[in-house]
Each structure stands twice: as C-alpha cells, then as structure tokens.
Amino acid sequence: MPAPRLSPSERGSVGHSAIVLLLAAPRSAKRNRIYRVKLGCTRHGHNVDFPLAVAQEIRTGNSIIHVSGLRKAYGSTVAVDDVSFEVKNGEIFGLIGPNGAGKTTTMECVEGLRTPDRGTVSVVGLDPWRDKYRLQERVGVQLQQAQLQKRIKVWEAVHLWASLYRKKTADGDRLVEQLGLVEKRNAWFMDLSGGQKQRLFIVLALINDPEVVFLDELTTGLDPQARRAIWELVRGIGECGKTVCLTTHLMEEAERLCDRVAIIEHGRIIDIGAPEALVQRHCPERTVVLSTDDPTAEEHLRAIPRLEAITSKDFRFTIRGSGDDFVTEVIRCLSENQIKVTDFRTVLPNLEDVFLKLTGHSIRD
C-alpha cells in the first residue's frame, strides 16, 4: 500500500495532530511572516485549509538554496558529480537515495561544512564556505552521527546553543517542551534514548529560529513509533514556513514529508520533482486487486482497455494497466457486468517503484 502523502494544501488540515512550532518570525522576509501567521491558525482549528494564495506561494516561491554543478571527490572517489538543484522558500525538499549515494556530502557542501571541488552553492544569498559564520547564524543543522559531551545535561546543551548566536534565539524551554523532553531536562546526553537524542538535536537545530533547517538522515536507527513522532515534528517545522532540506534513504519518509525530492545515485541526480509527479512520470501503471467468485469475471476483466497483465489465484485477481483512467475502467467493467466483489483495492506505485525503475535495483540493495 502506498503511504498517504500530504500535499502542501493538505498539510494545513493536519493541524490537530501536528505540533506547530511557534517561533519568532524572521526579520528578513515580510512575505514569510504573513503566511506564518496564517499557519499558526491551523494549530487550533481542524481542517483549516490554506488560503489558495499561500499554497501557491509555497509551490512557486523564490528559491532559497541554489546548487549548480557541484562536484566533490575524496581522493579518487567521486562522491558528488555535477549536482544541481534549487530549493524553494518554504518547501520541504528531500535528497533521497541509497546509503553512499552522495546525499550527505551534498548536504554538507550546502551547509558550509565541506568545500566543493567545483560548482557554486548559495544559501539565503550567502556562499556557505566564504560566509560560513554569517550563514550559520541563519540556518539550523542536524547532522548524521553527531554527538554531544557524554555528561552534558539536556538543558545545558540548549542553553549553550542559545548562547552561540548573535541574534535573539527561539525560546529554548518552549522547544524542549514541544519536543517532549521536559522530563529529560536534567538527564545526561549519554543516558538519552536514540529518539530523545534526535529530538534534542532538532531542538538545537531550531534554537536560532533558522530560515533553513537541514536534517540529515533524521530517523535512521529509530523504531517506527519514534520515527512517526519525528515526522510529525518535521511537518510542524514546515508549517512554520521554514524551508526544510532533508536527506533520507526511506522512501516512505520522503513521500510523507517532502514537497519535492531529488533522487541521487552514485553522486548524480537522476530526477527531481514532487513525489507524485515522479511516480506519474515514471510509473504510470495502476494495479487493482479484487476478489470475486463470479466465474465470468476473468473474461470481462480481460476486455478492459489498456490492460497490461492479469493474474488470478483462488478467486483473487491482480490486474495491472496503465493510465489514470484505468481504475475507473475496472470499476465500470465491474458495475456494467454486475460482478460482485468481496474485496477491492488499488495499489498505487510509489517512490520505491520509481527508484527501482530508474536505477534498476531496489533502494535497499
């Protein structure tokens, strides 16, 4: 089953479950502030939809990150080669691909932690390497495999991070509360669980009320429950109007969170787009699974236009065809021929299938 994915306009309606992080509005973008206020509204009401203009703005907003012709090699190993993409203001953008594809290297070049060998990068109008310190004031970073001092307490870490920034920072206590770490305020870092550590790192990434948040393999190593909780938080960050750039090798995570994704393999971007657009572009086929004991069923089903394959086992049919209308055609066939079904479901292709199609192997291989 494909994961239900929320489009930007739908994200407004999950306000009852998502934790909306209320952070101070950035000084820079006035435009941001307007829809930030509106986003704040979704916190209390159920099913409050974005005003159309706001949803439009998220889709067509100006780019906040530009990457062009990025290349980075370690010795003779080329980690990233000719990578170009843009991240729009206010969107959740994902770099997806298997481990070792070059996601983290790309991200670290954008964050200013690595110097690219070639290519240009610009984040909030700054060069991440030359303007490193100015950039760090304005972005929040969560790194893959980072640690803190073993015996630093949660509140001390938050306090320390808050003291590092020139500008007024977000309310640390409030962030700790919103990320469910209140009971762990006095715990040492080494005594936190994996999920708690990740949540603390999210607090630290948000402490300077950043314009762009980078999240690298945020949920790797977490159990499914903790993972879901973190997803909610990331949606909350997105709802605050912050731009989020994340990497993941979990296709489900990308589908659930990202407005757009770039698929990376062997250091190159294979394709970029909204997850559903990528699915539509590369995997137009639809699959319907239905159960019926009508002996004439197979004959009728075989007559459906643009049918590609049909298999049956114990009165259970799996029918594959292409085109958006295919499912409708199946339903029409069933109703016209009055075929009684006891079960009916559609299987939509997802990013996992796109990846398989584009690379010829599964992301887990």
Partner 1 sequence: MLRGLWTLTWIEIKVFLREPLGAVGMIIVPVLVFIGLGRIAGRRADSPSLAASSFLRVSVPVLASILITLSAVLSLVTIISIYREGGILRRLRATPLRPQTILTAHVLVKLLLTAVTLLLMVLAGKRYYPIGIHVPVFGFSIALLISTWSVLSIGFLIASIVPTARFSQPIGAILLYPMVALSGLFVTLESLPPKLRIVARMLPLTYAVSLLEGILKGDAWSAHLRDIAALTVVFVVCTALSAKVFRWE
Which residues would be at the binding site for partner 1 (CB under 8 A)?
A: 111, 113, 133, 136-137, 141, 143, 145-152, 156, 159-161, 163-166, 188, 201, 204
Instruction: Tell me the closest approach of the beta carbon of residue 62 to partner 1, in angstroms.
Output: 25
The answer for residues whose C-beta is within 8 angstroms of residue 89's C-beta and 6 or more apart is: 29, 32, 61, 62, 63, 64, 243
Nearer to partner 1, 149 or 296 (CB): 149
Instruction: Tell me the closest approach of the beta carbon of residue 211 to partner 1, in angstroms.
Output: 14
Q: Which two tokens stand for residue 133?
A: 């310190």
Query: Could you tell me which of 24, 21, 35 has the C-alpha nearest to residue 236?
Result: 21
Residue type, 48: V
Nearer to partner 1, 11 or 197 (CB): 197
Instruction: Tell me the closest approach of the beta carbon of residue 162 to partner 1, in angstroms.
Output: 8
Sign of torsion, CA 223 228 230 231? positive
Nearer to partner 1, 77 or 163 (CB): 163
Nearer to partner 1, 142 or 178 (CB): 142
Instruction: Tell me the closest approach of the beta carbon of residue 30 to partner 1, in angstroms.
Output: 25
The answer for residues whose C-beta is within 8 angstroms of residue 82's C-beta and 6 or more apart is: 69, 70, 71, 119, 268
Nearer to partner 1, 74 or 345 (CB): 74
User: What is the separation of C-alpha 320 from the centre of its chain, rounded to a whole number of angstroms?
Assistant: 29
Helix (H) or strand (E) holding 10: helix 8-11
Instruction: Tell me the closest approach of the beta carbon of residue 17 to partner 1, in angstroms.
Output: 30
Nearer to partner 1, 209 or 353 (CB): 209
Burial readout 126-164 (b: 16 or more C-beta within 10 A, e: otherwise): bebeebeeebbbbbbbbbeeeebeeeebbbbbbeebbee
Q: Which two tokens stand for residue 243?
A: 């731009």
Instruction: Tell me the closest approach of the beta carbon of residue 136 to partner 1, in angstroms.
Output: 4
